[in-house]
Structure 1
């Protein structure tokens, strides 16, 4: 084995070790946190890929490489799940998110059951295309949710995360596709190995250093049909001046500040005459919200449920209700409503009006 091969093996071994340590650290948190569970799966997948993708392991220990390959192929899906759970603060996990796993699992099965060079190439191309699509989605989520994120360590993490993902995915995708047509140069092996190690160390350092912020205990979603009361209890962790700000925030929200279209943290801070970072801390640490959109939606969806269940407003269009609540269009309103209630606005209205004997066809959509 030449010097380049030795360095490559050392880098991959280090990446596998760091990934395994991260997985062991997250396992105790996996029972109470979805992001920790998917983080554990991602770390195990990264460990498997670090080993299985080594040319030396494939040559000297083919049985080990073959055993780890299915888990390694799942790494992109696990990473996608991890990012969704970590950054989206979703109340419900959608069954549709199992589709990429089904595609990759089918690819793995095809390779094992019908081994052939042509099929191997086709499945690798399919696998890399799926991974690329998932990573593009992750990058969009990370970049798009930066302003709404109220968890300071996680908000800072987003910027680094985007660069790390882009570097790693580009390196791995190019390497895997290159292998289909020619031997990978030793320099490319080293670039890939270094990228994997850097990302593994970065994720491990940030995740372990900010466990409580990154992996909170999952809260159950409210799926009742009554009026949703916003969570406005003021935490005792706030200093006196921030408790005063929290009270002023409560007053502003009770007066309808949440109805302002396009309302942002910066806009609300300006309205309250305070600094944006202070308001972020109050909403996050004092009121317990991790995302500004979720904070607004507690008020907006609560009001929407009241309006939709009102027999006197049964002819009022749902679009008009959404606009009156501060949404710019019907699509974000529908997404937020379904996320919080498990029903579409139309389904909720029909159920609510049926309870008071208002014909469903009399309600405006």
Structure 2
């Protein structure tokens, strides 16, 4: 088998696997949220694979070639958003994350001539490299920062692996561009790139199909319906009940998982397994939000709190801000807190925004 055959096989296999996986994720109800981020990434990576060869005879031609080159320019931001969404069920591109993604899309579009020949190929690729390095750093920080509260061992390990694989792939590409130039791409290097993408696609397939617990939508329960009959789980269940119902630890906005585990009186690994297996939460943040939303529901339905503003309800329920309260309440209840209050026939005070 010569290099040209290996080149075609790796590119076709990688693109086919990515697109097929995107279709399968879209069919499964529990992974449709993730498919929203995976499908654009798969399409962009397929476009990258279609043109990532030094042999012009093996590339697409005509409009398909231009379309593939264009969407390939958006692959990095789509991968970035997908990785963030994979480990955070409440993730939506917003704020600085949305701004950085839109900036990448605009710069990549200009660099590929979509905004006219005046700015095409005018060194914008170097700006993309700088932005890409910032995106990698942010992704690594987020995955490592949230790892402590991840309650699923497989997901905790995957966080490190995703950072290593994705950062390694993108950093290698960026460093090659910096050292060797943007047009450097001998056959051995491009085949290695395509093979790495094929391996990454296969790993994603193994991780996502069948749906693994870290990426499946949980069915959270605040406390067990009935504690276990005996043993360590019975002690943990009773201790958790006291912490939630009596000590009300979830009302502390800065509560960390390490502090929570110490107050539970058990090793962190044991507490992770208990909350995940018994209560159905995949992250400590989701558990806290469920407790805090339950408290907010009680306050919103209580006539004694009819005059409270939403920001007061949010802070008194343990949320650090009104924005985080709105997001968590919407995720748990399927509607904003203002709508929940109205349905309870409890109109908000006139100075409170709807």
Q: 1:29 aligns with which of 10, 16, 25?
A: 25
* Alpha-carbon offset, residue 175 of structure 1: 4.6
1:47-196 pair list within 5 angstroms: 47-57=46-56, 62-63=61-62, 65-90=65-90, 93=92, 100=101, 104=105, 107-108=108-109, 111=112, 116=117, 118-121=119-122, 124-125=125-126, 128=129, 131-175=132-176, 183-184=183-184, 186=186, 190=188, 193-194=191-192
Does structure 1 retain, via aligned residues, the 8 Å contact 2:218–2:280? Answer: no
Match of 1:254 in 2: 245
* Alpha-carbon offset, residue 258 of structure 1: 2.0
Change (3 A) 1:191 1:314: farther
1:306-317 pair list within 5 angstroms: 306-308=298-300, 310=302, 312-313=304-305
Does the alignment pair 1:271 with 2:263?
yes
* Alpha-carbon offset, residue 84 of structure 1: 2.7
Does structure 1 retain, via aligned residues, the 8 Å contact 2:13–2:198? Answer: no
1:55 is paired with a residue of what secondary structure?
coil
CA distance in 2, matches of 1:112, 1:239: 68
CA distance in 1, matches of 2:18, 2:88: 21
Deviation by residue 1:81-116 (Cα, 9 ceiling, x = unmatched) = 3213211112x7568887746963795488466664
Deviation by residue 1:280-309 (Cα, 9 ceiling, x = unmatched) = 112112211111111011111221343355
Match of 2:199 in 1: 201
CA distance in 2, matches of 1:230, 1:214: 15
CA distance in 1, matches of 2:57, 2:149: 45
Does structure 1 retain, via aligned residues, the 8 Å contact 2:152–2:276? Answer: yes
CA distance in 2, matches of 1:61, 1:358: 59
Change (3 A) 1:275 1:72: same
RMSD (CA atoms) = 4.5
Does structure 1 retain, via aligned residues, the 8 Å contact 2:253–2:319? Answer: yes
Change (3 A) 1:246 1:89: farther
Unmatched 5+ stretches in structure 1: 1-5, 221-228
Does structure 1 retain, via aligned residues, the 8 Å contact 2:8–2:58? Answer: no
TM-score, scaled relative to structure 2: 0.73
Does the alignment pair 1:360 with 2:350?
yes
Deviation by residue 1:157-188 (Cα, 9 ceiling, x = unmatched) = 11121122222222333455778x664164xx
1:148 is paired with a residue of what secondary structure?
coil
Question: What is the count of residue pairs matched by the alignment?
Answer: 344
* Higher mean C-alpha deviation, range 201-210 or range 320-329: 320-329
CA distance in 2, matches of 1:235, 1:86: 32
Does structure 2 retain, via aligned residues, the 8 Å contact 1:52–1:66? Answer: no
CA distance in 1, matches of 2:13, 2:38: 15
Match of 1:232 in 2: 223
